[in-house]
Amino acid sequence: MMRMRLVRLVLLDAGIVAASVWLVFLLRFDFQIPQLYIRMLPCAILIHIVVHAACSFGFKAYNSMWRYTGMGEILQLLKVSALTFVGVIVVNLSAHLLVHSYRLPISIYSAAGYVFLGVTGLRIVSRLLNDGLVPSSSGTKDSFEGNLLIVGAGKAGILVTKDIKSSRFKFMNPVAFIDDDPAKQKLEIMGLPIVGNRSFIPEAVKQLDIAFIIIALPTASQSSILDIIEICKSTNAQIKILPSMTDILDGKLAVNMIREVSVNDLLGRAPVEINNEEIRENLECETILITGAGGSIGSELCRQLAVYRPKEMLLLGHGENSIYLIEQELRRLYPDQVIHPIIADIQDVSRIESVFQTFRPSIVYHAAAHKHVPLMEMNPVEAIKNNVIGTRNVAEASDKYGVKRFILISSDKAVNPTSVMGATKRAAEMIINDQNNFSKTAFAAVRFGNVLGSRGSVIPLFKRQIENGGPVTVTHMDMVRYFMTIPEAVQLVIQASVLAQGGEVFVLDMGKPVRIYDLARDLIRLSGLEPEKDIPIVVTGIRPGEKLYEELLTEEEGLIVTKNYRIMISRPQNVSRSELNLVLGVLENLCKRYDFVPNSYQIKKLLKQLIPSYSGFQEEPQVVTHEIERVKAEAHAGI
Catalytic residues: 413
Using an 8 Å Cβ cutoff, are 631 and 598 in contact?
no
Amino acid at 169: F
Residue 293 burial (10 A CB sphere; 0-12, 13-18, 19+): buried
Q: Taking Cα atoms as reference points, which of 601, 610, 543, 622 lies closest to residue 575? A: 610
The DSSP secondary structure of 460-529, one letter per residue, reads HHHHHHHHTT--EEES-TT-EE-EEEHHHHHHHHHHHHHH--SS-EEEE---S-EEHHHHHHHHHHHTT-
Question: Using CA atoms, how far apart are residues 374 and 229, in angstroms rounded to an integer?
Answer: 33
Q: Please, which contacts does 282-286 make with residues 24 or more away whose CB atoms are closer than 8 Å?
A: 282/497, 282/498, 283/308, 283/310, 283/363, 283/494, 283/498, 284/308, 284/309, 284/310, 284/311, 285/310, 285/311, 286/310, 286/311, 286/362, 286/363, 286/404
Question: Using CA atoms, how far apart are residues 479 and 477, in angstroms rounded to an integer?
Answer: 6
Question: Using CA atoms, how far apart are residues 440 and 573, in angstroms rounded to an integer?
Answer: 20
Question: Using CA atoms, how far apart are residues 192 and 176, in angstroms rounded to an integer?
Answer: 5
Query: Is the dihedral angle over the CA atoms 241, 246, 247, 248 positive or is it negative?
Result: positive
Give the torsion through C-alpha atoms of 295, 301, 304, 308, to 10 deg: -140
Cα 81 vs. chain centroid, distance in angstroms? Answer: 48
- Quote the DSSP letter at residue 275: -
- Quote the DSSP letter at residue 319: -
Q: Taking Cα atoms as reference points, which of 173, 164, 75 lies closest to residue 120? A: 75
Using an 8 Å Cβ cutoff, are 611 and 580 in contact?
no
Helical pair 71-98 and 35-58, crossing angle rounded to 10 deg: 130
Q: Taking Cα atoms as reference points, which of 371, 453, 458, 355 lies closest to residue 409? A: 371
Cα Rg of the chain (Å, integer): 36
The torsion angles phi and psi of 246, rounded to 5 degrees, stand at -60, -45
Q: Taking Cα atoms as reference points, which of 352, 355, 383 lies closest to residue 370? A: 383
Q: By three-state DSSP, how is residue 107 classified?
A: helix
